[in-house]
Amino acid sequence: MKHVSFSGRLVILGFGSIGQGVLPLILRHIDMPKERITIVTAEDRGHDEAREYGIRFERIALTRENYRQVLQPLLGDGDALLNLSVDVSSVALIELAQAQGALYLDTCIEPWAGGYTDPSLSPSQRSNYALRESARALVRKYPNGSTAVLTHGANPGLVSHFVKEALLHIARDTGHGTAVPGDRAGWAALAQRLGVKVIHIAERDTQVADRPKRRGEFVNTWSIDGFVGEGCQPSELGWGSHEKHFPADGKHHDFGCGAAIYLMRPGAGTRVRSWTPLEGPMHGFLVTHNESISIADYYTVKSGDAVVYRPTVHYAYHPCDDAVLSLHEIAGKNWAMQPAKRLMMDEIESGMDELGVLLMGHARGAYWYGSRLTIEETRKLVPYNNATSLQVTVAVLAGLVWAIENPRAGVVEADEIDHQRIMEICRPYLGEMAGVYSDWTPLFERETLFPEELDRTDPWQFKNFRVA
């Protein structure tokens, strides 16, 4: 099924696991000549796939000095730039796309090389909050510009649409009706009316390879450079209006929307309690992601300048077991990357990625809604993907289709676009879509072995979720 026709040129910038995984989806679902697609990437990875599909492949590493010279001849009015790169500034690319009249989509707000760990920058300046603020400034600069879809992979991206689906399910099941809100204020009012206090992006990856991680090797099911980069940023979370206990190492930003805080520790070294239906209670890493901030901001209700409602929002990620071992190893080396990297793909024997959103504090307690996608089903659906990458690549496809259908929307985030259209495109590739209620709270089976300092007056406090 072709979702849309596209007459422009398409530049795919970066061709790692996500670029390679999304190409067959683009060719399958967007009606356009493949001769109008160009891949620009810093590495040889994916060259054989590009040749298999007959796609032009240019190996050029983009820098501050050359990115305009390389990309301007490839982009004009009505063309599209799909940014799947690392170490290239998203803000710089959005500015270029706007100047050229081209569509744009990325999966995260990326800084120039070194921006995640530059010791000359404060933790606040190295945060996703700061990167998001720099990108959101372009919303005001280009109110009627060509469409630029920010951070639209699986998470950030797809999970924002999961939140809306979950809210509608809870509303239906608690007698609040199922009318779909028409704007941001309506969605925020619905979340407030339902009493949602906390939203986790709760993910458990159980994919297993046919050989174990070796010493000195980082193993993961998606971009290793991307994971380590964001894992070395400060832990960040949207900060809810119900919170009573501010973390001892927590900090507020002194600029921007004020919807989030950060902790003086890396996300890959911070664990939180969470829950998914198949895994049950788990410890996830509180890795910073754009959706932790954008969702909290989107669902904020104010009276004048005062915040009267905002949920606490953060990622709670348990990657595949080999990635956990890899993180443990680099933490012991003071966050120095291993010399070898291995992206798990063909060697995966079994497992799934259980990716969803966990909404808590409402009348039914907790509700997880999301995708359960196995490696076996993934391989039947589309080549060059594992379960983790397909949840990303199909969201990239959906965001690109939406941008082509809405070419003058300006700079937008996932929370601001049509969740029903995105889900229509993504659902056939997400495996089992499950919605499960639970009576789990972060106080479940606590203080069994040792006493803890808990707040039992309200289980939905960040204090109760945190793990030392």
C-alpha to C-alpha distance for 18 and 222, rounded to whole angstroms: 8
State the pLDDT at residue 8.
Answer: 98
**Per-residue pLDDT at 383 exceeds 90:** yes
Q: Is the pLDDT of residue 178 over 90?
A: no
Domains along the chain with CATH numbers: 4-150 (3.40.50.720), 158-388+424-467 (3.30.360.30)
Cα dist from 298 to 194, 288, 302, whole Å: 16, 17, 11
- pTM, two decimal places: 0.97
Q: How many residues does the chain have?
A: 468
- pLDDT 10s digits, 65-92: 999 999 999 999 999 999 999 999 999 9
Residue found under tokens 């300046």:
125
CA 440 – CA 247 distance, rounded (Å):
23
At residue 152, the pLDDT reads 98
Strands 80-83 and 411-413: unpaired
Own/partner long-range contacts of 54-61 (Cβ < 8 Å, ≥24 apart)? 55/23, 57/15
DSSP at 153 = B
Number of other CB atoms surrounding residue 241 within 10 Å: 17
Q: Got the DSSP string for 64-89?
A: TTTHHHHHGGG--TT-EEEE--SSS-
| Residue 157: alpha-carbon gap to chain centroid | 5
Do 148 and 103 meet the contact criterion of CB atoms below 8 Å apart?
A: yes
Q: What is residue 149's three-state secondary structure?
A: strand
* pLDDT tens digit sequence for 184-200: 999 999 999 999 999 99
Answer whether 86's CB lies under 8 Å from 110's CB: yes
The string of DSSP letters for 84-112 reads: --SSS-HHHHHHHHHHHT-EEEESS-PPS
Q: How far apart are CA 306 and CA 360, in angstroms?
A: 23
Taking the CA of residue 402 as centre, how many other CA atoms within 13 Å lie in the half-sphere pointing to its CB? 30
> CA–CA distance from 360 to each of 78, 164, 241 (Å)?
43, 14, 14
Is pLDDT at 468 greater than 80 in this prediction?
A: no
pLDDT of residue 176 exceeding 90: yes
Residue 206 pLDDT exceeds 90: yes
Q: What is the pLDDT of residue 120?
A: 92
Mean local confidence (pLDDT), 285-308: 97
CA Rg, the chain, in Å?
Answer: 21
Q: What does the alpha-carbon distance between residue 297 and residue 257 come to, in Å, rounded to a whole number?
A: 7
Cis preceding-peptide flag for 143 (omega within 30 of 0): no
Query: If you average pLDDT over residues 239-255, what whole number do you get?
Result: 97
Closest CA to 337 of 231, 235, 228: 228
Distance CA 423, CA 295 (A): 17
Which residues have a Cβ under 8 Å from the Cβ of 48 and sit 6 or more positions away?
none
pLDDT tens, position by position, 41-59:
999 999 999 999 999 999 9
H or E segment and range at residue 426: helix 419-426
In this predicted structure, the answer to whether residue 177 has a pLDDT above a threshold of 90 is no
- The tens digit of pLDDT for each residue in 342-355 reads 999 999 999 999 99
Per-residue pLDDT at 324: 98
Strand 80-83 vs strand 37-41: parallel, antiparallel, or unpaired?
A: unpaired
Instruction: In whole angstroms, give the CA distance from residue 279 to residue 281.
Output: 7
**What are 123-174's pLDDT values in tens digits?**
999 999 999 999 999 999 999 899 999 999 999 999 999 999 999 999 999 9
CB 29 within 8 A of CB 1: yes
Q: Report the greatest alpha carbon distance in the chain.
A: 65
Host H or E run for residue 173: helix 158-173
CB 373 within 8 A of CB 390: yes
Give Cβ neighbours of residue 303 (< 8 Å, ≥ 6 apart). none
Q: Please, which residues have CB within 8 angstroms of residue 51's CB and are 6 or more apart in sequence? A: 57
Q: Using the Cα atoms of residue 426, residue 409, residue 414 and residue 162 in order, give the sign of their dihedral.
A: negative
Handedness of CA 219, 223, 229, 234 (dihedral sign): negative
